[in-house]
Amino acid sequence: MTSWVTSANGDTDFPIENLPYGVFDDGAGPRMGVAIGAFVLDVGKVEHGLDAALFAEPAWNAVMAAGPAIWAALRERLTALLSDETYRTAVEPHLVALEKVALLMPFRVSEYTDFYAGRHHAFNVGTMFRGAENALPPNWLSIPIGYNGRASSVVVSGTPVRRPWGQIKRPEDELPRFAPSARFDLELEMAAIVGQLSDGMVSVAEADAMIFGYVLLNDWSARDIQAWEYQPLGPFLSKNFASTISPWIVTMEALAPFRAPFSHPAEDPQPLPYLSSADNSAQGGLDIHLEALIETPKMRDAKAAPARFTQTNYRHAYWTAAQMVAHHTVNGCNLQPGDLLGTGTLSGPTLDQACALIELTTGGKNPIQLPNGESRTWLEDGDTIILRGWCEKPGAARIGFGECVGTVLPTP
């Protein structure tokens, strides 16, 4: 397809096939918008044929709650407004250049659950602590493992992240000490956004229809705090200080061409019936390319480009978002529009596809080398991490997620 917004027809994350949803402020207050090429469309200002109340609050939660029929109608109308030249005169005044806006949280995070659905990450980290024979806990291949995160500390791309304090106990220490984290890490993840209310258990097929879209997620991690606190109940202060998401929600409609078959290896335990469906097997996977880059203070001062240090694909996830939703509700737990479900670190099968420094450096033993001669074992103050994601294949337009960016600030 083509758009009369010419910047949407070239090299961009936001062609007309994408139309991701966000919230922006150009100085006149936060509003709901859709990205198109180098611009954001002020959705509340155009004739979309929907209830204006859906756009009254600068957050996409009301649209999510309105349901899939409204999602489809809005997307169809926006596509027409931005592709048909006859609408140009009415719509063009409501386009604002992306370079002139601040991008804000695109929705109110109702709750946040972070799963542990990256098998290669789980194996790599488990090997460091328990050896290869016992790397994966006995239940890992049978259920989507997750923990409750902190919704209030989910922040949007561009928000600085301050290095946390916490209790730290090294193996040689007799007692823990209170100090800033010295083993500060990132985790390259994605996150599904629940768009519909659930009341009781939902099937995998029902769960798939509940997902509104995806964002990139950096689940910042303080490894030294985590090592001391995670037994017996899992991560707490090592994770809840900040989780960064990208500002654009890429909808399931936009991702439809990039669905892919999904299955567990034949030698693994196969999902129990409540975690299975024919559609999930046929198209539960998503072919999304992912990468992480670093910009150190020295790079910034030298005006050097950020350096990519890993790349992977969402297809390495061991559980689909629909399976995570279904499992989340199996005990009667309700989900709400705006619930955020992290995938866990999406490392691939080889070391160059590892998506956290704890893996890339083998627990801090082997620093990674950067193009400018610097090295990193853990993140240092002033380092900026940039996550990117995109989909492309023959016969379909390339679409992207934009960037998920965070800079590490020193402890106060």
Contact (Cβ atoms closer than 8 angstroms) between residue 168 and residue 175: no
Total residues belonging to the chain: 412
Catalytic residue flag (residue 328): no
Closest CA to 112 of 222, 251, 242, 255: 242
Amino acid at 176: P
174-177's contacts with Cβ under 8 Å and 24+ in sequence apart are: 176/228
Alpha-carbon torsion (67, 68, 69, 72), positive or negative = positive
Q: And the tokens for 254?
A: 């936009």
Amino acid at 259: R
Q: Which residues, 6 or more positions from 314, have their beta carbon under 8 angstroms from its beta carbon?
A: 190, 285, 286, 287, 288, 290, 343, 346, 389
Closest CA to 310 of 362, 343, 353: 353
Q: And the tokens for 17?
A: 């096939």
Q: And the tokens for 237?
A: 């202060």
Rounded to whole angstroms, how far apart are CA atoms 221 and 244?
11
Catalytic residue among 120, 121, 316, 327: 121
Rounded to whole angstroms, how far apart are CA atoms 283 and 321?
12
Secondary structure element (H or E) that encloses residue 121, with its range: helix 119-130
Rounded to whole angstroms, how far apart are CA atoms 341 and 215?
10
Residues annotated as catalytic (active site), given as ranges: 121
